[in-house]
């Protein structure tokens, strides 16, 4: 039943209220302003959707373009950038929210020189223990020293440790997750990194930085502006790596 037919049964106050509401609805539905407002809302939604897509693509772009960088230029790394990179690292997942990470930074020239000398010494000891034929030993020593020389062009080194006193069997996973965050944050700011363990024997590193016994080394990474960005190495086809539901018996 229509309102017009029964409006005489409403009290005068309610009649005025209903008329005002009806008039307002008519203005919103049919006025040019309403259509302008709707266009603005639609345009805003499109812009917001595009911004979200661009933000997502920028994240994916950082992941795709992370590289292992082994030679750097002499540009310094800003302290605020170091802190931002490590801040992103400590947002990594962590078992029981223990957050076992310890990030040791070396950037003083004197300490970098000491590290350089220590790396050469550790590498020499490692090669000598292999008892290689003289020519192979000489080649291995020289190859390692050249690698170390390039690596030490970085103005900053970060050693990632984890506290193993709580959840020791899970702390190593937490450490690797933090390293990935660190490397992606560094790439987003235009810095290079590389996950380094071969030239950094844990016990030697622990003695060098006087780390307590409860800390385990995950890796060391240089940090700096790359001398050049390495090209992307070949990647396997994704379908080679995906298994659905369960593995087939061999």
Q: Is residue 247 part of a domain?
A: no
Are 204 and 89 members of one domain? yes
The pLDDT of 204-216, averaged and rounded, is 97
Range in 38-47, 82-91, 186-195, 216-225 with the lowest mean pLDDT = 38-47
Are 97 and 217 members of one domain? yes
158: phi then psi, degrees, rounded to nearest 5 = -120, 130
Q: How many domains does the chain have?
A: 2
Are 103 and 198 members of one domain? yes
Q: What is the pLDDT of residue 12?
A: 54
| pLDDT grade for 58, boundaries at 50, 70 and 90 | confident
Are 28 and 139 members of one domain? no
Asked if pLDDT for residue 37 goes beyond 50, the answer is: yes
Q: Is residue 228 part of a domain?
A: no
- Report CA Rg, the chain: 31
Pick 162 or 13 by higher pLDDT: 162
Q: Is residue 4 part of a domain?
A: no
> Domain range spanning residue 61?
14-65
Q: Is residue 108 part of a domain?
A: yes
Rounded to 10 degrees, the C-alpha dihedral 24/29/33/36 comes to 150
Structure tokens at 40: 């603005």
Range in 5-14, 165-174, 239-248 with the lowest mean pLDDT = 5-14
Q: 72 by DSSP, 3-state: which?
A: strand
pTM of the model: 0.79
* Measured distance CA(103)–CA(106) in Å, rounded: 10
Are 84 and 208 members of one domain? yes
């Amino acid at each position: 039943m229509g309102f017009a037919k029964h409006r005489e049964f409403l009290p005068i106050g309610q009649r005025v209220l209903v008329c005002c509401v009806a008039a307002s609805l008519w203005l919103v539905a049919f006025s040019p302003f309403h259509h302008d407002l709707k266009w603005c809302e639609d345009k805003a939604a499109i812009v917001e959707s595009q911004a979200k897509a661009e933000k997502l693509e920028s994240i994916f772009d950082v992941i795709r373009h992370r590289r292992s960088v082994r030679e750097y230029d002499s540009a310094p790394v800003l302290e605020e950038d170091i802190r931002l990179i490590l801040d992103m690292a400590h947002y990594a997942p962590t078992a029981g929210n223990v957050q076992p990470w310890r990030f040791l930074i070396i950037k003083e020239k004197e300490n970098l020189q000491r590290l350089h000398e220590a790396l050469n010494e550790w590498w020499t000891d490692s090669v000598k223990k292999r008892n290689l034929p003289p020519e192979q030993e000489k080649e291995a020593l020289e190859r390692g020293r050249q690698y170390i020389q390039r690596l030490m062009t970085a103005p900053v080194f970060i050693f990632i440790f984890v506290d193993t006193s709580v959840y020791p069997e899970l702390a190593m996973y937490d450490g690797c997750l933090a390293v990935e965050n660190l490397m992606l944050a560094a790439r987003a700011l235009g810095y290079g990194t590389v996950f380094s363990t071969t030239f950094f024997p844990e016990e030697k590193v622990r003695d060098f930085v006087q780390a307590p016994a409860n800390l385990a080394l995950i890796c060391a990474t240089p940090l700096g502006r790359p001398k050049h960005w390495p090209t992307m190495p070949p990647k396997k086809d994704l379908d080679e790596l995906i298994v659905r539901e369960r593995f087939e018996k061999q």
